[in-house]
Chains A and B, each alone.
Chain A
């Protein structure tokens, strides 16, 4: 079974990404916790959102340029995760603090590496 990851504004312009093994995909909870004096715990879950974080290597310069421009312009994106015939679609934005794909993959200058953080909106 193979899994394909594609990121883009739509399926038509999506670029295919190959996450490293440090891939994290899931959700984060917005919650608050109160521990009473007797030790009882109350947890309120107010909501949650999608979060993906993974490293990338050997990204062609053209794809890296697109990803970096989406990060730069705060573009609303879709992440397509296809497993066999089923595709999950997640609405997300790139939330890196700095350019996601900014380093060369030595010894080449037309392949880039970096890490990407995606969060749902």
Chain B
């Protein structure tokens, strides 16, 4: 959840609030020049830089300095939303932090285009053909840290003051692997850091994204919390539910122990969900990767088990159109949804996998995915060989 005061939360829940927006470039406040506020879109399952375009008024030519002195483009931009407190001043929540990368002038408008930290990680490589980077049997979070700090040149400060990585979330992420003693091996010979991180997270069922403060955030899905936001028909303006049998996986193969020199996976495990097969027929899925792989059958089998547990039944995906009320949750967190028509109760949590915030209108669109919720932390909390369903 966004870190804001209880007064701020009350304003978010108010039906007639007066939100304020701020656009800073460096320390200069350009809010009064914004003609069109951007839409911020973050996706947990798709590691891509969040690009933002801010349209500014340049009728008086006051922004021509970006054109005449191009070095002035290179500044950090911040998009904030908040409320003006009658006594203590305006409280802002930073929703986006990114570097200005492009400036475009058209008519009497100036468009500033910003990109977040992932853009930089897309320009930096891990290893090369002649000197590949090899990790043998390590906890995934250690590999992630090395990728970010050694190859991505991000800050290696191991405290919450790390400006590039949300260290508190990173520690939580690492602790879950540590508790399960999950180890993997990896090999990269020139891939971009962002590709390497995407693969690592895909193979460990984690989410990674850039938070509002511009820090890289890792999250392995954890259980629903009693403090989750609850969205009812009083809050959403529209709701769509997709049920996809296309994503079914009831016979999951996981290949592991990849041999780089021979280019093949030396072992394979399979997990079968017979109940699902009886209902929907066989849906084979082969999970393997030549850059990140499990080293032992136990970990590979649990990964396969996780897949059949999550995708054994057609997972439901919900798109909810709502407003500022739902701006606080962050990706990977759970939201409780209530809709009497569809019989959805607040008893279960729905994982937030995509969040889109229109700063122009205050509309917040959420995509909630059941497949990442239902027993989604089976491996994270339970013992590796246990069969506890902890949802």
Contact = CB atoms under 8 A, between A and B. Distances in A.
Given A40-B15, A44-B18, A45-B18, A34 B323 contact: yes
B234 A36 contact: yes
B233 A34 contact: no
B17 A44 contact: yes
A36 B19 contact: no
B362 A44 contact: yes
7 contacts: A34-B322, A34-B363, A36-B235, A37-B236, A38-B233, A44-B17, A45-B18
Contacts of A34: 237, 322-323, 362-363
Contacts, number: 50
Nearest to B325: A42
Contacts of B325: 42
A118 to B, nearest CB: 17
Given A42-B323, A44-B324, A44-B362, A36 B18 contact: no
A42 B17 CA distance: 8
Contacts of A32: 360-363
B233 A36 contact: yes
Interface string A9-48: 0000000000000000000000010111110111111100
A116 B195 CA distance: 59
Contacts of B17: 44-45
B83 to A, nearest CB: 11
DSSP majority for the B interface?
loop
Contact of A46 (B16, B19, B234): B19
A37 B239 contact: yes
Contacts of B361: 32, 44
Given A32-B363, A34-B362, A36-B233, A41 B15 contact: yes
A50 to B, nearest CB: 15
**For this complex, into which size category does the number of interface residues on chain A fall?**
10 to 19
B21 interface: yes
A40 B19 contact: no
Contacts of B362: 32, 34, 44, 46
Interface in B360-378: 360-363
Contact of B238 (A37, A41, A43): A37
A74 B18 CA distance: 31
Contacts of A40: 15, 234-235
B237 A36 contact: yes
Given A46-B20, A74-B59, 8 more contacts: A32-B361, A36-B234, A37-B237, A42-B15, A42-B323, A42-B325, A45-B18, A46-B362
B117 to A, nearest CB: 29
Given A44-B362, A46-B19, A37 B324 contact: no
Contacts of A37: 233, 236-239
Range of interface residues on B (Cβ < 8 Å): 20 to 34
A27 to B, nearest CB: 14
A34 B234 CA distance: 11
Contacts of A45: 16-18
B15 A43 contact: yes
| 7 cross-chain pairs, A with B, having the tightest CB-CB distances, nearest first | A38-B233, A32-B361, A37-B233, A44-B362, A34-B323, A45-B18, A42-B15
B230 interface: no
Nearest to A40: B234
Interface in A64-114: 74
A120 to B, nearest CB: 12
A73 to B, nearest CB: 13
B324 A35 contact: no
Interface in A40-66: 40-46
Contacts of B363: 32, 34
Contacts of A35: 237
B84 to A, nearest CB: 11
A3 B20 CA distance: 35
B53 interface: no
Nearest to A43: B16
A38 to B, nearest CB: 4
B21 A46 contact: yes
Interface string B18-61: 11110000000000000000000000000000000000000100
Contact of A44 (B19, B232, B234, B239): B19
A74 B233 CA distance: 48
A42 B19 CA distance: 12
A28 to B, nearest CB: 15
Nearest to B21: A46
Contacts of B21: 46
A43 B18 CA distance: 8
A117 to B, nearest CB: 18
